[in-house]
Structure 1
């Protein structure tokens, strides 16, 4: 059996070791149980006309059954996890766009995905949870013979996800068995994961971060993953105390929420000391990283990932120097910086971040125009701008599409974020472009203040002007109780001016 398949990863865990756990006292699913479940699921799929390369849309709430459905279906077919919060029209678009052969939903659970599948003539498969965390049975579907039965092979597509980029129509990213297993191993090597580790997963499992960084990397290491119903700041420390995980991974907005509740949970933090904390999917402000390490008494490892790389591309080292504000060294694929003309730039020069390696998608599906722009001489162009410092650490200066063009002067939103985050009154900030009739774009910033602080807009602008050139200082600062986020907890920079009613200025 090739090592580059989900089936091979599942084969590595000790039979009696816990693989899938869940809060609220449910019995764990062992590796032996998970392997048996996967084999049963594969046989069921094959008996219902679904085999390798056939796509199965999955609409399940966050939790252990979502994790095991992903693992067991990916071992025999192609998974297509969808956000349960979509509306009927969105489900219809995604299920049709993916050419799904079946839709898996929770038995007895109402979701608009059912009616979308019915309109498209796609069979609905009902999943009923078993007694152990993650155990389930399937029912429904249409009996038939699979064209390609048996376990998936390394080149088969294991996972398809839509990008949430700035294009009007989201692009389909197909990731092979080799892509996702390589990324899981890269993460395991970066974090020195072992069978002794247990990850507390609070990330949504329709997103690459939760699927690969939390679930698949844990399974690849023979460790356990504790599958929660999703991020809940009020329950996080209770889960930490009851489940005693060795690590968790999240986006910066989640870490900041956890940090705000840490003082009243100091005893739990000491009692359930984490080995490390991981952050990815957005830029972590340097002050927050330092505070997290101080409060939790363990390393915070910031990583850099994206869907097209099956998640991880670079990471700060677990042992050794970690540079706040930088996303670390290459951690799996090769990482380079490319000029507009396609030449690779030396350390210290700014250009587009490019990657290549076994975890990188071979190309967007049915989108030759996007592929022509995204790939150059074997390198994938990430759309991110940055530089490699003298130690090979990657500094991101922003998304190329998010760089603010103020009358020809280029402003990196991440740079402004970093300065404003250093102000003692600022809990969170997001710099964004505001349309301007003469300059094209002007600099704006949305700020969430710490409790008990009330600086004026002028005070924050004066603070920023000590460290930034005048053209980079936000001309408009908006104070918010919360900055708008996307479905995965990521702060949404593009379109924020419209959302806040500032686009007509």
Structure 2
């Protein structure tokens, strides 16, 4: 098959998604700031935006930074860039580290910003000097010399690409390159699961996060409706669940605990929820028990995935268990020295700015997650290998202590982490958000008394801090790595 025929075949496959949206017509696709956009609206917006991009010199396979969070316009633009076979770099917020990584590693040619409703599209040239600078070659010039070597397999396959940035909590963000055609084919599917009742799914996870992309493609797979929040606060999210009868909420354990602490599950009617999928960090067993008691009608599902391998389909042992099984025919797993390793069909193509030392010689991705496995194949995440606290040669898993401490009626939330210690190497520290008034001395005494007899003495925190709020990332994960 000639290169031209391969390109046409790839375009036809991508255009099938837009054709499917057009066939769904008036079925609601996106609810954004109270306005409902149909699948027909989305199909038209994708095609109109694709035409605008080409008119403004955005050539296939060029890297494009899409600066936006979820909106109807950003979703249409993402899919227009997919249709145009671009390498998309979604970015919710420009930070110094993210901008440096993108400029140094992604060879960005354009910066795209879009109005929420898709009515306006701003396309600026973007080079190492930053957005707005004149590029080294004419915009729209699709030349082999201008294509980074890392993108060459995408060009040869006639495929679109996706670059996701890691959180960068321990250094410069990693630029993670994916084949976007593969992700869409695997996660959006054929869309043949069309029922008479639409499934409203809340887009809680960010637009530039693998979980957010997975949630969006999952909406398309079931021909559901993506409900977009203006703000990700417990009040806003619970109000949207009540208003739109949300059936599926993908989120994190930390955010779910914020809902419980603020009593938002009682202030709003959350009875429409049929599933809460949680990931991005391990779930403390005590928190899961609290959630099951507070939201008994919702099935609680442990999800698992990484930015490098995509999100795997999983099955929880039950809504009261932190054990889960990877039930995805496209994902293989193995456990080596207690660490979970994955190999998937949606596996990344490589890092643009780091060596691929997270891959084994035979192509398995080292997740960095420590797990235990039961005889029936159910897994349980015990914590991150890099977060293990070494106290004089003894290992302490933060999740173990947090799960126990959350059983105290005097503690709303907590985070356990290690700090350097000149004698033992590291010491155990804990930040406590109390449920009521408490002095630091009272908090230390209560923590030690509550843990006594439940853990070995070396696991007792050497330092107990009282905090009004825990430190969490913009992805609502507890921050345990301290500078």
Q: TM-score, normalised by structure 1?
A: 0.79
Partner of 1:356: 343
Task: Kindly report which structure 2 residues correspond to 1:69-88, keeping only aligned pairs within 5 A, or say none.
Answer: 69-76=77-84, 77-84=86-93, 86-87=95-96
**Counterpart of 1:460?**
447
The corresponding residue for 2:431 is: 446
Q: Quote the offset at 1:85 in angstroms.
A: 5.3
- Report the equivalent of 1:480: 467
Q: Which residue is equivalent to 2:332?
A: 334
1:12–1:220 CA contact under 8 A, matched in 2:
no
DSSP 3-state at the match of 2:57: coil
Residue aligning to 1:59: 67
| Structure-2 separation of matches of 1:427 and 1:488 | 20
Question: Equivalent residues in 2 for 1:1-400 (5 A)?
Answer: 7-13=15-21, 14-24=24-34, 26=35, 28-76=36-84, 77-84=86-93, 86-87=95-96, 90-106=98-114, 117=126, 120=129, 122-123=131-132, 144=140, 146=142, 156-165=159-168, 167-181=170-184, 184=187, 196-213=198-215, 215-262=216-263, 265=266, 268-270=269-271, 273-296=272-295, 297-310=297-310, 312-313=311-312, 315-317=314-316, 321-322=318-319, 324-331=321-328, 332-339=330-337, 351-365=338-352, 367=354, 370-400=355-385
Deviation per residue, 1:19-55 (Å, 9 max, x gap)? 111233x2x2222221222222223323333243321
Contact 2:187 2:221 in 1 (8 A): yes
Question: Is the Cα–Cα contact under 8 Å of residues 471 and 479 in structure 2 kept in the other structure?
Answer: yes
CA positional deviation for 1:94: 2.6
Any conservation in 2 of the 1:201–1:230 contact (CA below 8 Å)? Answer: no
User: Following the alignment from structure 1 to structure 2, what is the Cα–Cα distance between the partners of residues 491 and 435?
Assistant: 19
CA deviations on 1:216-270 (whole Å, 9 max, x unpaired) are 2111221110111230223233222222222111112221122234467456224
How large is the Cα RMSD of the aligned pairs? 3.5
Kept after mapping to 1: 8 A contact 2:90/2:164: yes
Aligned partners of 1:167 and 1:22: how far apart in 2?
Answer: 34
Q: 1:234 to 1:116 in 2, by over 3 A?
A: farther
Closer/same/farther in 2, CA of residues 12 and 435 from structure 1, 3 Å limit? same
Moved more, 425-434 or 320-329: 320-329
| Structure 2 residue aligned with 1:422 | 407
**1:118 to partner: Cα distance:** 7.7
2:419 aligned counterpart, secondary structure: strand
Distance 1:171 1:400 in 2: 18
Q: Deviations over 1:331-385 (max 9, x none)?
A: 451121013xxxxxxxxxxx11100111211322254xx3134233121111222
Q: TM-score, normalised by structure 2?
A: 0.82
Q: Among 372, 397, 417, which residue is 1:432 paired with?
A: 417
Structure 1 range deviating more: 377-386 or 290-299: 290-299
Cα distance change on mapping 1:42 and 1:3 into 2, 3 Å: closer
Displacement of 1:154 in angstroms is: 7.0
Aligned residues: 450
Distance 1:75 1:423, change over 3 A: farther
Q: 5+ residue gaps in structure 1?
A: 126-141, 340-350, 499-505
Alpha-carbon contact 1:254-1:489 (below 8 Å) kept = yes
Unaligned runs of 5+ in 2: 1-8, 117-121, 145-153
Taking a change above 3 Å as real, the CA distance of residues 358 and 9 of structure 1, as seen in their structure-2 partners, is: farther
Greater relative CO (CA pairs within 8 A, separation 6+)? 1
- Secondary structure, counterpart of 1:269 in structure 2: coil
Tell me if the contact between 1:443 and 1:476 (Cα under 8 Å) persists in the aligned partners: yes
CA change 1:321–1:56 in 2 (3 A) is: same
Shift of 1:182: 5.6
